[in-house]
Structure 1
Amino acid sequence: MDFNKVKNVYFIGIGGIGMSALARYFKANNYNVAGYDRMPTLLTGELEKEGIEIHFEDDTKCIDDDYKNQVNTLIVYTPAIPAENKLLNFFKENLFSVKKRSEVLGILTHQRKGICVAGTHGKTTISTMIAHLLKQSKVDCSAFLGGVAQNYKTNLLLSEKSDYVVLEADEFDRSFLRLTPHLALISSTDADHLDIYGDDSSVKESFCEFAALVKSDGILLSKKEIELNFKVSKGVKHFTYSLEDKQADFYADNISLSKGIYQLDLKTPQQTIKGIKVGIPGLVNVENAVGACSVAYLSGATEQEIKNALPGFKGIRRRFDYRIKRDDLVLIDDYAHHPEEINATLRSVRALYPNKKITGVFQPHLFSRTKDFYKEFATSLNKLDELLILDIYPAREKPIKGVTSSMILDLIELPIKKLTAKKELLNEINDIKPEILLMMGAGDIDKEIDKITDALS
C-alpha cells in the first residue's frame, strides 16, 4: 500500500490499545486522524487531548466529510468490531481502502527489523521491557506497545535513527501471522481465544506458523518450557530462555529478593551478566525480564546498558500496578484475564506478602472464555483468601445462554466469596477490610479501580 497517497486515516475501534498506538503513529506523521469507539475511556480521552477527533455513536452522520473521500482515506478497524457495525459496513459498501489493524502494522514494519513478541500471556510486559532496554541503549528502537509504558506515558515510541521496531504480536484472530519478524520471542502457547481457534492444538499450530515467519537471517527466542517443534527458515538462529532451567540458552541464576526488589545473574551462551535488578515487583516479572534482557542482548545492547536500564523500568499501566502501598493496605491493579495469568500474579503476590490476607476482585472477560475455562478460573481463584467476582464483561460478544460468573463462583471453596454488582463493590470491600486487595480483569474494571483507589486513599 502507498501511504503517500493517504491523507486521512479513520479508525473503527480507536480506543483499543493496539489501535490507539497506530492512531498516534499516523498523527505523529502528519496525517489527519479520527475515529469511533463504543464508549469513552481514559485512553480515548488522552487521544482527544492529542488532537484526534473521536465520536461514540455508531452513526455515519458523525463521520467528518474529510473522511468520506475514498481517494485519500484509509480505514483501519479492529477484528473485535462486530460484523453489524454500521460504520464498517458503510466504508466497505462504498469501496474504501479498509484494512485490519494487523495488516497496516505488517505493512508499516515490513522493511524494518521487527522484534515481535508473541504469547498468550506475558507479551505486553516483555515487549515494553525490551523497548525500554533498547531506548536506554545505543541500539534504540521504535515501538507499538500493547500497554501504556509508565516510563513514557504512551504506547508509541518513535526513533529516527534505529531500524528496530518492537511489536506486540497478537494471536487473536491470527493477527500475528501478518508480521515478518527479524527477531521473534514466544513466551507462552496456552489455550486461549477458542472462539477463534476451536481447540488447543490449533492455538499451538498458529504459534508454529508464526515462528516459521522469522526472516532467514533472523532469530527465534522461545521459552524453554514450551514443548513444540518449531520449524524455522534456513539461517534462523533458535535460542531458548527460562526462569531457572539451566538447559536453556538464557536463564536466571542466583535469584534473590530484598525489600521487594528481585536481583539475578543472567546466563547467556557467551557470558554471565551479574547483579541485574528488576525494577518492578513479582517473580513473574523476573521471568519476563530474562526474556527481555535476552532480546536486548541479542539485538546488540551491552551488559552495562542492560544493567543500567532495567532497574529504572517502571512497568505498564494495569500490569501489577501498585495503586496503594501502605503498611495497612496494598491495592494492586492487574490485567490478568486468563487462568495462567491469574496463577502467575498470585504466585508473585504470595512471594511478596506471605503472611498477609489476599482479597481478589475479578471481572471475567468474554462469555466464550468463561465457558471454555470456568473450571480453570475456579482453580486459580481458589488460591486467594477471599473473592468478590463481578459479572462477565462482554466486550465484542453477545451473551451465551447459561454462561455467567456464577459458573466460576459455584466451584470456589473460599470462606468468603460473593457475586457483586459494580455499584456495591466499594461497600463490599469496606466490609471485608482487606490487607492485600488484588483487582484483576481486562474489561471495564479499570473504571472501578480508579473510584476505589480514590475512596481508600
Structure 2
Amino acid sequence: MEWLKEVKKAHIIGIGGIGVSAVARLLLTSGVEVSGSDFAESGVVEVLRRVGAKVTIGHDAANLPTDVDLVVRTSAVPEDNPELVEARRRNIRNLTYFEFLGEYADGKRTVAVAGTNGKSTTTAMLGLILIEAGFDPTVIVGTKVPSFDGGNLRLGGSNLLVVEACEHQAHLLVFSPSAAVVTNVEEDHLDYYTDRQHIMDTFEQFLSQVRSDGFVVLNANDSDGSGALQCSGRSLRFGSGEEADYRLGEIAIGDGVQSFHLYRGEQDLGEIELHVPGRFNIENATAAAVLALEHGAPFEAVRKALSGYGGIWRRFEVVGEPYGGPVISDYGHHPVAVEGTIAAAREFYPDRKIVLVFQPHHRNRTRNLFDRFVRSFDGADSVVLLEIYDVIGREDDADADVSSRRLMEAVIGHDRSRGVERQIRYAASLEEGFAAIHSVLAPGAVTLVLGAGDVDLLARRLAGKETD
C-alpha cells in the first residue's frame, strides 16, 4: 500500500460506522487530514471530532474537499450518494471500507478472523493475547474493545495485523492472510448468497487465499460448517472430539466464571478461565488461543489475557442493573446467536427470569430464517419483539410483508403447540418497546436486548445511560 504514503487528505462517507471509523483513526495517526460525513450525530462522530476529524452531518457533493486524495465509504453507502458520485466524477481514488482494509493488509503478516458468529469477540481475544505475549500487533475490530485507546483500533509497532473478515457480500475475499480462522458457518445474508453451498464455497475460496506458508484454524464442533470446510494448505482443528488437534475439555461453570482445559494432542496445556458466559465464548477463546499459540505465544500469555478479558461493546455487555437484575446489550441477530445468548444467560443467572427484547435486522433475513427465529426464543420467559430494523439499500419490496407482528403471532402459535404460556409482546417502535418491557419485567429479571439495529439505544435507556 505504498500509495497511502502519498495521501494527504481523505474523506470518509458514513464516518460514524463502527468499522470505517477505525480507518479514520488509522489515517489520522498517519498524519492524513481527515474529513467525513454521516447522516446523524453519534458518540463515534463526537469522538472522531475530538481527535481531529472534520465531520459534517448530511450528505452533499459540497462536503468533498477540493484537494482530497482518497475517499473511503461504508458498504451501506448507496451508489447514488452525492459524495460518491462527485468523487467518481473527479476520478478520485475511492474504496469501500473492506477494499481499504485489503489494501492496508497487503504486505503485512495478516491474521484474518472470519465466521458467521463470534468474529469480533475472537478478534479482540486474539489481539489481547498477542499484546500480552509482546507481539505488539495492530488490531482492527468491528466493535469497541475497552482496553484499546481507539476502541475499534489498536495500533501496534510490528508488521502483525489482526483483522475481522466479514462474509457479507463476500468482503472477506479482499484478504490473502498468513493465517485465518473460521469460527462457524451458518446460513445468513441470503439476499446475496444463493444457498448454503454458495456460503461454504465462499469460505473455501477465502481459505484458498491463505499464503502457502500460512495455516488455517477450523472449528470441528461446527461439524457441518467450519469443520466441513476443505483447504489445501496446513490446517488445524479445535473441538471437543479426540480427533481435534487442539481439544477442549473439563468444562466447568461457576458463579460468574467458566473454565476449561486446553489440550494439544495428549498434552494438557492447562486451564483457562473466562469471565464471560456461553459455550460459544469457550469456542471463541479456543480459536484465539490456537492462533496465538501457533504464532509462538506462550500458554501463560493465553491464560492471563483470557482470564482478564471482560467483554466488548454489545457482546453480552452488562450496561446496568436498574431493576435489581442486569440489562445486557448484545449484537446477536442470527437465530443461532439468539439461542446461544439466552443459554449463556441461563448458565450465568440460573435462578433468574429472562426477558428477551429482540429487534430483527433486515426483512430478507427475517423471511429466510423465520421458522428458526421462532424456535430460537424458546429459552426466554418473556419476549418483546420490536419491529424489524430496515437496512438502507438492502430492503426489497418482495419482503415488505414480513414483520415482527407476524413473528409474534408465529411464536404464540408455536408456544400453544408445545403447551407453553408466557408473555409475548409486539412493539412498533423503541418508545413502544420501552413500555412493553415494563409490562413484562419482574424484579431481578435478566433483560437481554438483542439486535444489530438501533435497539442498543433502548438498552442504554433502560439502564439510565446515554448511548456511547
Task: Using structure 2 for the length normalisation, give the TM-score.
Answer: 0.91
Q: Does 1:338 align with 2:343?
A: no
Structure-2 residue corresponding to 1:256: 252
Separation in 2 of the partners of 1:104 and 1:58? 21
Kept after mapping to 2: 8 A contact 1:240/1:249 = yes
The aligned counterpart of 1:403 is: 402
Q: Is the 8 A contact 2:322 2:462 kept in 1?
A: no
Q: Please state if 1:415 is matched with 2:422.
A: yes
Counterpart in 2 of 1:155? 152
Alignment partner of 1:173: what SS?
A: helix
Change beyond 3 A, Cα 1:419–1:82: same
Letter in 1 for 2:235: H
Measure the CA separation in 2 of the matches of 1:86 and 1:62.
9
Measured after TM superposition, the shift of residue 231 of structure 1 is 4.3
Contact 1:116/1:168 (8 A) holds in 2: yes
The residue that corresponds to 1:54 in the other structure is 55
Match of 1:19 in 2: 20
For 1:354, which of 350, 356, 366 is the aligned residue? Answer: 350
- Conserved 8 A contact 2:38-2:56: yes
Could you tell me whether the CA contact under 8 Å between 2:327 and 2:459 is conserved in 1?
no
Q: Greater shift after overlay, 109-118 or 15-24?
A: 15-24
- Secondary structure, aligned partner of 2:374: helix
**1:247 and 2:243 matched:** yes
- 1:238 maps to 235
SS of 2:357's partner is strand
- Structure 2 residue aligned with 1:74: 70
CA contact (8 A) 2:343 2:379 kept: no
Aligned-residue offset at 1:269: 3.5
* Equivalent position of 2:457 in the other structure: 447
> 2:137 touches 2:159 (CA, 8 Å); kept in 1?
yes
Q: Distance in 2 between matches of 1:46 and 1:280?
A: 28
Aligned AA (1:409):
M
Asked whether the equivalents of residues 172 and 193 of structure 1 are also in contact (C-alpha less than 8 Å), the reply is: yes
TM-fit CA distance, 1:279: 3.1
Q: Equivalents in 1 of 2:144, 2:308: separation in Å?
A: 16
Change (3 A) 1:364 1:95: same
One-letter identity of the residue aligned with 1:68? T
Map of 1:176 onto structure 2: 172
Alpha-carbon distance between aligned partners in 2 of 1:32 and 1:43, rounded to the nearest angstrom:
18
| 2:16 paired with 1:9 | no
- Alignment partner of 1:366 out of 358, 362, 378: 362
* 1:128 and 2:124 aligned: yes
Query: Quick check: 2:277–2:347 contact (8 Å CA) kept in 1?
Result: no
Aligned length: 447
**How much does 1:227 deviate?**
3.6
Partner of 1:275: 271
Name the amino acid aligned to 1:155. Answer: N
Q: How far is 1:282 from its partner? A: 2.6
- Asked if residue 426 in structure 1 is aligned to residue 427 in structure 2, the reply is no
The CA distance in 2 between the partners of 1:123 and 1:283, in whole Å, is: 15
1:212 and 1:230 in contact (8 A); partners too: no
Instruction: Report the counterpart of residue 418 of structure 2 in structure 1.
Output: none
Q: Return the alpha-carbon distance in structure 2 between the equivalents of residues 372 and 3 of structure 1.
A: 41
> Distance in 2 between the 1:184 and 1:55 partners?
37
The alignment's C-alpha RMSD in Å is 1.9
Post-superposition shift, 1:264?
1.3
Contact 1:213–1:232 (8 Å) recurs in 2: no
- The one-letter amino acid paired with 1:107 is E
Q: Shift of the alpha carbon at 1:371?
A: 1.7
> Which secondary structure state, in structure 2, belongs to the residue aligned with residue 203 of structure 1?
helix
| Contact preservation (8 Å) 1:280, 1:314 | yes
Q: Percent identity?
A: 28
Q: Which amino acid aligns with 2:430?
A: K
Query: How far has the Cα of 1:455 moved from its partner?
Result: 7.6
The separation in 1 between residues aligned to 2:229 and 2:278, in whole angstroms, is 29
Deviations 1:391-439 (A, max 9, x none): 1111223463212112321211352111113113333222222311100
For the residue of structure 1 that corresponds to 2:276, the secondary structure is coil
Aligned-partner SS, 2:401: coil
Q: Per-residue displacement from partner, 1:69-127 (whole Å, max 9, x unpaired)?
A: 2xx51111222212221211121122111112222111111111111000011111001
Which runs of 5 or more residues in structure 1 are unaligned? none
Q: Which amino acid aligns with 1:405?
A: S
Per-residue deviation, residues 120-178 of structure 1 (Å, max 9, x unmatched)? 11111001100011111122311111110122251101111x22110001111211101
Distance 1:264 1:325, change over 3 A: farther
1:3-35 deviation per Cα after TM superposition (whole angstroms, max 9, x unaligned): 122111111122222211111111111101121
Does the residue aligned with 2:410 lie in a helix, a strand or coil? coil
Distance in 1 (CA, whole Å) between partners of 2:234 and 2:323 is 48
Distance in 1, Cα, partners of 2:262 & 2:390: 41
Query: Following superposition, which runs of at least 4 residues in structure 1 exceed 6 angstroms of deviation?
Result: none
- The alpha-carbon distance between structure 1 residues 231 and 455, as it changes in their structure 2 partners (threshold 3 A), is closer
Gaps of 5+ in 2: 416-420
Secondary structure of the equivalent of 2:185? coil
Instruction: Report the Cα distance in structure 1 between the residues aligned to 2:224 and 2:171, rounded to whole angstroms.
Output: 23
Residue 153 (structure 2) pairs with residue 145 (structure 1): no
When structure 1 is superposed on structure 2, of 318-327 and 106-115 the one drifting more is 318-327
Does residue 186 of structure 2 align to residue 190 of structure 1?
yes
